[in-house]
Amino acid sequence: MQTSRLHFLLLPAFAMSVGWGLRGFIGGGPLGAMIPGALVALTICILLERKGSDAGVIAAFGAVGVGLGGQETYGQTIGLSFVPETQIWGLAGLALKGMVWGLAGGAILAVGLQIRQWARRDVAIALALLAAATHLGWKLVNEPKLIYFSNLYDRPRAELWAGLLLGGVAFLACLLTRGDARIPVSFGVYGAIGGFVGFGLGGWIQVIGRASGLESGVGWWKVMEFTFGFLFGLALGACAYRWRETLSGAAPEEAESLSWAGAVAGMAAALALYPFYAIFELRWNYTLVGALLLGVVLVWPRIAWHVAITFTFAAFAYDLVKAKTYIPWVLVLVTTAIVAWLAARPLSVNAKTLLLLWTAIAVAGAKLYLPKEAEAFHAVTLQGTFTAMAIIVTVLMRPNPSQG
Cα atoms in the Cβ-side hemisphere of radius 13 Å centred on 356: 40
Nearest by Cα to 69 from 112, 23, 11: 23
Comparison of pLDDT for 366 and 62, the residue scoring more: 62
pTM confidence score: 0.92
DSSP 233-287: HHHHHHHHHHTHHHHTT-S--------HHHHHHHHHHHHHHHHHHHH--STTHHH
d(CA 90, CA 95): 9
The string of DSSP codes covering 55-75 is HHHHHHHHHHHHHGGGG---H
Q: What angle do CA 389, 391, 393 make, to 5 degrees?
A: 70
CA dihedral angle for residue 305, residue 306, residue 308, residue 314, rounded to 10 degrees: 150
Whether pLDDT at 328 is above 80: no
Helical H segments across 68-181, by residue range? 75-81, 87-113, 120-137, 161-176
User: Is the per-residue pLDDT at 377 higher than 60?
Assistant: no
Pick 17 or 31 by higher pLDDT: 17
Domain carrying residue 372: 5-403
Q: Does residue 403 carry a pLDDT above 50?
A: no
Mean pLDDT of the chain: 87
Query: Count of alpha carbons within 13 Å of 346, Cβ hemisphere only?
Result: 7
Average of pLDDT values for 381-400? 89
Which percentage of the chain shows pLDDT scores above 90? 63
Return the pLDDT at 280. Answer: 59
Total number of domains in the chain? 1
- Top pLDDT among 274 and 105 is at 105
CA 39 – CA 386 distance, rounded (Å): 14
- How far apart are alpha carbons 332 and 327 in whole angstroms? 8
Query: What's the pLDDT band for 404 if we cut at 50, 70, 90?
Result: very low
What count of other Cβ atoms lies within 10 Å of the Cβ of residue 295?
15
Q: What is the mean pLDDT of residues 92-111?
A: 97
Q: Is the pLDDT reported for residue 259 higher than 60?
A: no
Instruction: Say which residues have a Cβ less than 8 Å from residue 100's Cβ, sequence separation at least 6.
Output: 69, 72, 161, 164, 165, 168, 192, 195
Q: Binning pLDDT at 50, 70 and 90, where does residue 279 land?
A: low
CB atoms within 10 A of CB 58: 29
The residue count for the chain: 404
Give the pLDDT of residue 2: 63
- Return the pLDDT at 218: 81
pLDDT given for residue 269 in this prediction? 59
Compute the radius of gyration of the chain from its Cα atoms.
Answer: 20
